[in-house]
Structure 1
Amino acid sequence: MTPQTFMDSVSAAIARGHLLAERIANAPERGEHEMRKVVKIFDRLSDVICRVIDAAEVVQCLHPNPAWRRGAETVFEEMFSWMNTLNTDPRLYKTLQTVLNTPSIESGFSEAERHTAIMFLRDFEKSGIHLSDAKRAQFVQLSDKIVSLGREFMNVSSTPGPGPSHIMITPPARLRGLATGHIQRITKTNKQGEKVAAVSTSGWESQMVLKHVEDEEIRRAMFVANMAEDKSKVAILDDLLKTRYELAQLVGLPSYGHLFLGSKMVKNPQNVNAFLQTLHGSLQQNLEKELAMLQRAKQIHTRNNNARLEAWDKDYYQHLINSQTSTIPPGEPISAYFSVGTTMDGLSKLFSHLYGITFVPRSIRPGEVWHDDVVKLDVMDERDGLIGTLYCDFYARHDKQPNAVHYYVRCARRVDDDDEENDVAPGMMLREGIKLSTADPGVHMPGKEGRYQLPIAVLSCGFSRPVGRKPALLNWLEVETLFHEMGHAMHSMIGRADYHNVSGTRCPVDFVEIPSIMMEHFLAAPEVLDLFATHYQTQAPLPKGLLEAHQASRSTFQAIDLHSRLTLSMLDQLYHSGIVGDSGFNSTKSLNDLESAIGIVPPVPGTAWQTGFGHLNSYGAGYYSYVFGRCVTEQIWDKVFKSAPTSREAGERLREHVLKWGGSRDPWKCLGGLLEDERLMKGDEEAMKIVGDWVTSASRV
């Protein structure tokens, strides 16, 4: 495929999309038989749009060719704008509203069809369908601006700030704590004949300084340089937040948080903030103990009983305490037991135990993928056969986004009842030379009526490459990240709904993180590690003592780690609340106010780390989902998996109550069914209180 053939396929999809939109608009004139097909046609339209947008996002983020990336960016923005235009089209809204208000049609809906129809209706209402023509046009303009600002924010969030690119250390011996060989590599002789070490203020080198260098003044200089306020970046973020607020105001809501959260499990910002405050309160006792450990360590280390813990101290003293108390035996690191290949094999074995699902590597056709690194896996079910395809792009490249991400390319949906032949109305003339996209023919799924389009997903990571004959080895955090993202991938494979718009991970953001966080629990279980964790050279299993020592060291500062997530969640809610509408709003001031109120160290003047918080774009008002999901998965693990982590019975229970539904069922019903608690199924205030009680009763950290 070339950039031009990609653009041609986009044109064909748009042509099909226009036909579908007109078919919906004209459905009332064609009678009740056609009106019964409206939800299906809406879903086909959504599928056409999302397949283009999703493919464009993959190309933008992963393709090495700048021409491809530029073309994909143009496609993404144009399709997103058209989608917003459709969401403000009163003809389409009126047709859907009529369908839902016609008992002879609505009474025949399945649960999934009704849920899908209501979701489409909510999309219209969130897009200001009730507004005047001028204000609907303004909604599209603001939505387009949000996409543009979000992309700009992501582009600058990982770029160096206004601080110096390097700090110069004389003499280099002041870098005590870093590896001697590394100090030698970065040391030069200046014109005065002095030895000077030039230390980068970004990337892994800056992190190593904050974690290992004993000299506090160097750590302070590194922190300030790394987190220095970049007013141009702050301006982009503030513009993004204000535009989101303006969008919410346009549709009559007090904040973007209200606009975003209305369709989520938590329902509104008040419930989110109550949950976060409850968690914050339950954390205090353990948090104070851990902070006291750090404070005392600094006082002893500096021989100053009045020494105060600062932002540049946290990583250093956490590492110091861990190294002093660690029982990890000397020798090779735990990463020697986690090559990329071994870990993927372990995931396949785990899914085989839980669901009867395995990964089968497949050859790749010329032009099928964007880089030679990419691995293609067929996802095979022992009962259903092929259920989807997963492309894995594991290794870091300079022209690739660095974070671990799960992307959709195509969702599952039923296709045999598409009725494509009636998309062109009798008497309608198509423009000469126009090409229309066509549906995938689909496959028959055992136990299901009809034929289904199978899902295609991409898993991208930023792991270090193999070196020579040595495979790529993963540290624990990287293994945990791979397990987490594979939770999303498995959700997208198993959640094969009849409708694209509710398949797989197309569900509320506070529900979508539950399957992925569950995978982190599996990784921590010795029974799961026994399936695959072996030394890359000797094939010896991971020693029990090494695992226990490693897990003990990770748990020493668990409350501080959770507090960091909590702070990010609270900041995200603050940035999407009504305060953004204040004339003097400034994201840096809001950050400093929050850190002064709940932070574990004082704010550092001249810094503004919020511009590196990329989730403000992708998870705006939804970052709480990580801590919410962690609380929920603790309950699921304890009640379903703890006694037998690799049990097929437990795996099928998760599959039947959660994974197979995708987003086609109310998530509270899924959760209540899995945990066998009818009170949760209502998703009301009592359900939220139950989740809050899980936090307070267990003081989970």
Structure 2
Amino acid sequence: MFKTPTRGLWVCTKCARDSVSRVQRRSWLSAASGAASASHPVDRSAPGAVRDDAILRELFDSPARTAKAFKASELQPSAGLFKNRYLTSPNGFIVFARRSLQKASKIVDRVLGASSTAEYKAIVKDLDRLSDLLCRVLDLSDFVRMTHPDPRFQQAAAGAWSLVYQYMNQLNTMTGLSDQLTKALANKDVVASWSEEEKTVADILKLDFTKSAVNLPQRERDRFVDLSQRISEVGSDFVSEMAPEKEEIVLPSSSFYGLYPSIARALTRGGKVRLPSMSAEAQAALRTVKDEDTRRAVFIASRTASRRTVHRLDTMLKLRSELAELSGFQSYAHLALKDRMMAKTPGSVMQFLLALQQHNKPIVHKEMADLLAQKQTHLDGMATKVEPWDKDYLMDSVRLDMRLPVRHPDQLAAYFSIGTVMQGLSRLFSRLYGIRFVPRETLPGETWHEDVRRLDVVTDAGDQIAVLYCDLFFRKDKSPNPAHFTVRCSREISESEVEEAAAEVDGGDAGPRFDSAAQAANDGMESSTQGGVFKQLPTIALVCDFQKHEDWKSPRLYGIRFVPRETLPGETWHEDVRRLDVVTDAGDQIAVLYCDLFFRKDKSPNPAHFTVRCSREISESEVEEAAAEVDGGDAGPRFDSAAQAANDGMESSTQGGVFKQLPTIALVCDFQKHEDWKSPSPALLTFHQVETLFHEMGHAIHSILARTSLQNVAGTRCATDFAELPSTLMEHFAADPTVLALFARHWRIDEPLPYAMIAERLRMSKRFEGFDTENQILLAMLDQAYHGPEVAGPGFDSTRVYHGLQSRFAAGPTDPPETCWQGFFGHLHGYGSTYYSYLFDRVLAERVWRVVFAAGADGKAVDRASGERLKENLLKWGGSRDAWRCLSDTLQDERLKEGDEKAMAIVGSWGIKDDHHA
């Protein structure tokens, strides 16, 4: 039932692919320049919006001038990481974990002891709170152990994570919780009392119990655990030890005519080139070497995995098949797709892929004809066929011919300082959703590195709805993969929770002191009362790996804006971290955003956003419980009130009569900055990095705008094949001229971006999109085949299946029979039977962009009505409503509501794009 916190389907799709919309109207080529002067980029209706907008840019572009203004005095005591009162030092992690487990044990006892109708009515909220208590520790500790630059914090976080993980595994062996939920589901009066959200969570939890084999006899349950462990081990070995059959290609240097001279020199010894089979140099050779025989040798070597690698893959697939059979499923694909997937069945996945393949086939045929013509022009005038080792070489040749004879004299990055891009995102969200980013001062100890900046997400009404920590810049040992982390998700905090937390206000049992029970109920992290509901705010960390300069120098679509806020001592983990409150047009704060955007040594290079605390209603009983925590007690922290203790001192607010913990978010990137803090140039981003930031912010906005009460369905905790839709959609906005006109200006001369520069880049990147789409379709089909019923048969051969699929469905060149590339398909380990989700969300994002935002035509990309349509029908539901219903309502397409194989086929028929372009 209870699972370790999972990230999105990928750390970030933008790490590997460009996926922005192609602009349709040629008249837009100069739109950015005109729009910039004609529009009013900053929403002046919300109090303080103009000031917040200006500070937002300065926060990231001019840190030397803003660092002190957004850092509380270091003389103040540490506020704890993310303002979590427990985490003022590494030792606090174990106290935090133990205190959380004490609370969890009480809930387990209450659920197991339930017997009355009233007690069974509360079981979903009890189990949801139990899940939230575990995830409060697991999510935050997982982030800290991967991201924090201090080994002491890493080790302490790992210890806390391990302690709670062990407890979670104990819960997964208990049949009592599953039995009690089954009894509740069987009671009509109980079910009738539940909200639709509670019913959804009950179904999710019941399915989780079924998939974890908790109801199997002990012998089968032990076998389930053993198989799961073996799958994990074999899968890890498959990914970490994959190798080619032939380690290198050795040929005379004359065979490599056309290879970049620097590469050729580095690899040449004694007149021969020794080219590693699996390397960037090998890929460069396929693009540049003129000799066809050489390209063929490189291609085959780079597409042939070792026999040991293929054996590991086959073993993993066989074990998964056995696990599915033990669990009562026809195949592993049936098992995996049963849980939080829109597709639901392997048949539906194939309907989608077949329809998409039919839509894409004419595009590939056109691209194949173009490559053959190029081959006849430049290589062989009598050629009648394009070989697989020709493809990369010919595509590169075509793109070279496409380049404009006169290139713009200035670099594209000059128009994208990190400050202006963040400013642009806030302006866009203000237009679309009525929210904005507000820089906030960070307290001592609140952030994990001096580069981290905090942004609060605030509505037009001034309500804070989330916290975003931005850690965007490169530093040594920081992961290079962009990512967002929901460190704490949104959830309502009940009154009883605050009441319980009252006992923690004074500390007690070596715990921290809180200012109030409400603060203790959310561990001191951000919470708010929204609409009369007390909620823990989603706390998100956005982590990137951008290069930065060391000198740091918003009514829009969503009706929110970012408001810079001063941070208290200990509130952030590094002096670079900036806090923004997310404020609505009405002035309501709806979230807190901590931004840690710049490079520093030992910081992970992976851009990400972390929801440190999600939004959740805090009940009156929770505040009452927290009253006992206000004065600390047992060495705990002191709080100002019971309401503050109920959310651990973190941000909360009352919205619509509901007291809620505000989402608190950390935005972490790795942008490079000059060592000289007095450099006049701000950190500048490539357009790919701009796309990355927009993509990751799409994940964050999903967590921020979700208006759910329960943790299990907060924000991105939705159908897995639906989770990438908001983030992929944001990539379309990144390339829209009206959106770019909001912020893309030259950092030095303040001239607007000539849109022709973006248009050329898009034209080049989209030139052979059909080939890329076909490759992804074939991989998704292969993923389904490898997790289907046939795997259990004695004659299963993964190489035969791979070539069979290519032969049957590929319109482009197919691999020679002696290859076995499937041994390099590492995604099979992490995303077994769900690889199709990347394509699925690309299609959905394209459709939403065209239908809801009219592909940006006539300013629709910044139209508030369009933003409200998306927010009200899709984003605000998180995972609490069926994703097909959300999609159907958003697109106003009743054909999709059933979410069956017919609906999947309809989605596939839309294709990635509607035009076949040269």
TM bucket normalised to smaller: 0.7 to 0.9
1:260 aligns with 2:336: yes
**1:635-674 C-alpha deviation (Å, 9 max, x unpaired):** 3222211141100111111111111110011112212222
* Structure 1: distance between partners of 2:405 and 2:741: 19
Which residue, 409, 418, 428 being the options, matches 1:350?
A: 428
- Counterpart in the other structure of 1:628: 840
Change over 3 Å in CA distance of 1:688–1:319 after alignment to 2: same
Residue 564 of structure 1: SS of its match in structure 2?
A: helix
Higher helix share: 1
Which residue, 862, 867, 881 being the options, matches 1:646?
A: 862
Change over 3 Å in CA distance of 1:448–1:420 after alignment to 2: closer
Which residue, 185, 204, 208 being the options, matches 1:100?
A: 185
Q: Structure 1 vs Structure 2: percent identity of aligned residues?
A: 38
Change over 3 Å in CA distance of 1:388–1:420 after alignment to 2: closer
Residue 861 of structure 2: SS of its match in structure 1?
A: coil
Change over 3 Å in CA distance of 1:452–1:151 after alignment to 2: farther
Kept in 2: contact 1:442–1:451 (CA 8 A): no
Correspondence 1:211-610 to 2 at 5 A: 211-216=287-292, 219-220=295-296, 222-224=298-300, 226-263=302-339, 264-303=341-380, 305-306=382-383, 308-327=385-404, 329-330=406-407, 331-396=409-474, 399-419=477-497, 439-440=522-523, 448-464=531-547, 465-466=671-672, 468=674, 473-599=684-810, 600-604=812-816, 608-610=820-822
Q: Which AA in structure 1 matches 2:203?
A: I
Shift of 1:175: 5.6
Shift of 1:40: 0.9
**1:287-307 C-alpha deviation (Å, 9 max, x unpaired):** 111012123322332225347
* Structure 2: distance between partners of 1:163 and 1:368: 51
Structure 2 unaligned segments of length 5 or more: list them.
1-86, 503-507, 513-519, 548-670
* Structure 1: distance between partners of 2:370 and 2:868: 44
1:26 aligns with 2:102: no
Change over 3 Å in CA distance of 1:4–1:84 after alignment to 2: same
Residue 862 of structure 2: SS of its match in structure 1?
A: coil
* Structure 1: distance between partners of 2:176 and 2:140: 29
**1:166-219 C-alpha deviation (Å, 9 max, x unpaired):** 978736x946363x6x4598478x6x6x6x777676665554444344454555
**1:608-651 C-alpha deviation (Å, 9 max, x unpaired):** 54455443344322221222222223332222111411001111
* Structure 2: distance between partners of 1:61 and 1:233: 28
* Structure 2: distance between partners of 1:399 and 1:578: 42
Which residue, 239, 248, 258 being the options, matches 1:176?
A: 258
Change over 3 Å in CA distance of 1:154–1:356 after alignment to 2: farther
| TM-score scaled by length of structure 1 | 0.86
Change over 3 Å in CA distance of 1:537–1:434 after alignment to 2: closer
Kept in 2: contact 1:444–1:450 (CA 8 A): no
* Structure 1: distance between partners of 2:265 and 2:443: 43
Kept in 2: contact 1:153–1:236 (CA 8 A): yes
Q: Which AA in structure 2 matches 1:550?
A: R
Q: Which AA in structure 2 matches 1:455?
A: P
Kept in 2: contact 1:139–1:250 (CA 8 A): yes
Change over 3 Å in CA distance of 1:583–1:495 after alignment to 2: same
1:682 aligns with 2:898: yes
* Structure 2: distance between partners of 1:483 and 1:156: 34
- Counterpart in the other structure of 1:44: 129
Q: Which AA in structure 2 matches 1:641?
A: F
Residue 632 of structure 1: SS of its match in structure 2?
A: helix
Q: Which AA in structure 2 matches 1:633?
A: A
Q: Which AA in structure 1 matches 2:434?
A: G
Residue 386 of structure 1: SS of its match in structure 2?
A: strand
**1:663-695 C-alpha deviation (Å, 9 max, x unpaired):** 011112212222223443333455445434544
* Structure 2: distance between partners of 1:58 and 1:609: 34
Kept in 2: contact 1:411–1:456 (CA 8 A): yes
CA RMSD of aligned residues (A): 3.7
Residue 753 of structure 2: SS of its match in structure 1?
A: coil
**1:348-379 C-alpha deviation (Å, 9 max, x unpaired):** 22112111222234455555444454443322
Change over 3 Å in CA distance of 1:374–1:555 after alignment to 2: same
- Counterpart in the other structure of 1:428: none
Kept in 2: contact 1:415–1:442 (CA 8 A): no
Shift of 1:601: 2.5
- Counterpart in the other structure of 1:672: 888
Kept in 2: contact 1:491–1:504 (CA 8 A): yes
* Structure 1: distance between partners of 2:232 and 2:144: 17
Moved more, 592-601 or 524-533: 592-601
Q: Which AA in structure 2 matches 1:349?
A: R
Shift of 1:241: 3.0
Q: Which AA in structure 2 matches 1:676?
A: Q
Q: Which AA in structure 2 matches 1:19?
A: K
Q: Which AA in structure 1 matches 2:467?
A: T
Shift of 1:15: 3.6
Correspondence 1:152-191 to 2 at 5 A: 152-153=237-238, 155-156=240-241, 164=247, 170=253, 174=256, 176=258, 178=260, 182=262, 186=266
- Counterpart in the other structure of 1:9: 96
1:119 aligns with 2:207: no
Residue 107 of structure 1: SS of its match in structure 2?
A: helix
Change over 3 Å in CA distance of 1:493–1:609 after alignment to 2: farther
* Structure 2: distance between partners of 1:274 and 1:688: 6
Change over 3 Å in CA distance of 1:58–1:434 after alignment to 2: same
Residue 449 of structure 1: SS of its match in structure 2?
A: strand
- Counterpart in the other structure of 2:849: 637
Kept in 2: contact 1:415–1:441 (CA 8 A): no
Kept in 2: contact 1:394–1:462 (CA 8 A): yes
Structure 1 unaligned segments of length 5 or more: list them.
425-431
Shift of 1:148: 4.7
Moved more, 681-690 or 261-270: 681-690
**1:409-457 C-alpha deviation (Å, 9 max, x unpaired):** 1110001335476799xxxxxxx96979954467775652321001122
